[in-house]
Amino acid sequence: MTGGKILGEETEHLRGVRLLRGTLDRAAQEALVEAVRVVIRSAPLVRPVTRRGQALSVRMTAAGAFGWVSDRRGYRYEPCQADGRPWPPIPALARAVWDRAVPEARAPECCLVNWYDASARMGLHQDRDEADLAQPVVSISLGEAARFRVGNLARGGPTESTVLRSGDVAVLEGPSRMLHHGVDRIVPGDADLLGVPGRINLTLRVVTA
Ligand code: MD3
Ligand code: FE
């Protein structure tokens, strides 16, 4: 970790999702992007396919004891990559954000890396592949901004959206943990942090019971 601060953040809420705006300063964002590049060196990004063979538009990899994968066998957490290698360790700075955001939670077991190119998106879904759904999820945004959408516990109904910017952290906990959510699109703007257009989202999760 080369410098950078986890700031005392501004907190707002969107349907119970806790939004910590500007948690990472620029130096911390740069350090975390570098740590993500290290992760990608030993766990390359892939475009997962669904059970039906449809490729997701987001490229993914992971760090930690488990990685989330999707292929023709479905969605699940795996302790190793497809080639049998373990996932690399969770970047220390991502772990520090988790400890600051959710000090009462268990240790994170997965840091999912979602890499959005300019046209990537993620449809409304729930995160329900974890065994202990009482544990929170912490999301860190890096790079270009994204229009993030939050719906309801059940499918359908009205939704609300907000823009997540580089350095913002979202905490999904309590009743908000099971809300439908997704990413409508990347908001083109500052492509400076990554050096290319696009966005990285890190989600930290507890996977086991
Ligand atoms: C709201 N990722 O990987 S992170 C995912 O920006 C995912 O890449 C999005 O949804 C992204 O599953 C959003 C923020 C997030 C994560 C979990 C949530 C928001 C959530 C669970 C409930 C409600
Ligand atoms: Fe999700």
Tens-digit pLDDT profile for residues 5-28: 887 777 899 999 999 999 999 999
Token pair for 83: 């080639």
Average pLDDT over residues 54-78: 97
Q: What is the pLDDT of residue 1?
A: 46
Q: Going by CA atoms, what residue is nearest to atom 8 of ligand 1?
A: 201
206 confidence band (pLDDT: 50, 70, 90): very high
> How would DSSP label each residue in 101-129?
H-TTSPPP-EEEEEEE-TT--EEEE----
| pTM of the shown model | 0.96
- Give the chain's radius of gyration (CA, Å): 16
On average, the pLDDT of the chain sits at: 95
Mean pLDDT value of segment 80-91 = 97
> What pLDDT sits at residue 191?
85
Task: For residue 84, report the distance from its CA to the centre of ligand 2, in Å.
Answer: 25
Average pLDDT value for residue range 90-109: 97
* 3-state secondary structure (DSSP) of residue 99: helix
State residue 2's pLDDT score: 53
How is domain 10-205 classified at the CATH fold level?
A: Jelly Rolls (2.60.120)
Whole-number Cα distances in Å, 136 to 17, 37, 54, 69, 203: 10, 25, 29, 20, 10
Please tell me the residue having the least CA distance from ligand 1 atom 11.
Answer: 201
Which residues, judged by CB distance below 6 Å to any ligand atom, belong to the binding site of ligand 1? 17, 112, 114, 122, 127, 137, 139, 150, 170, 172, 176-177, 179, 181, 183, 201, 203
Task: Give the confidence band of 144 by pLDDT, cuts at 50, 70, 90.
Answer: very high
* Crossing angle for the helix pair 26-42 and 92-101, to the nearest 10 degrees: 120
Which ligand 1 atom lies nearest to the CA of residue 170?
A: 14
- Can you tell me the distance from the alpha carbon of 98 to that of 117, in angstroms, rounded to the nearest whole number? 25
Residue 123's CB is within 10 A of a number of other CB atoms, namely 12
Burial class (CB in 10 A: 0-12, 13-18, 19+), 24: buried
> pLDDT value at position 7?
79
Q: What is the mean pLDDT of residues 101-109?
A: 97
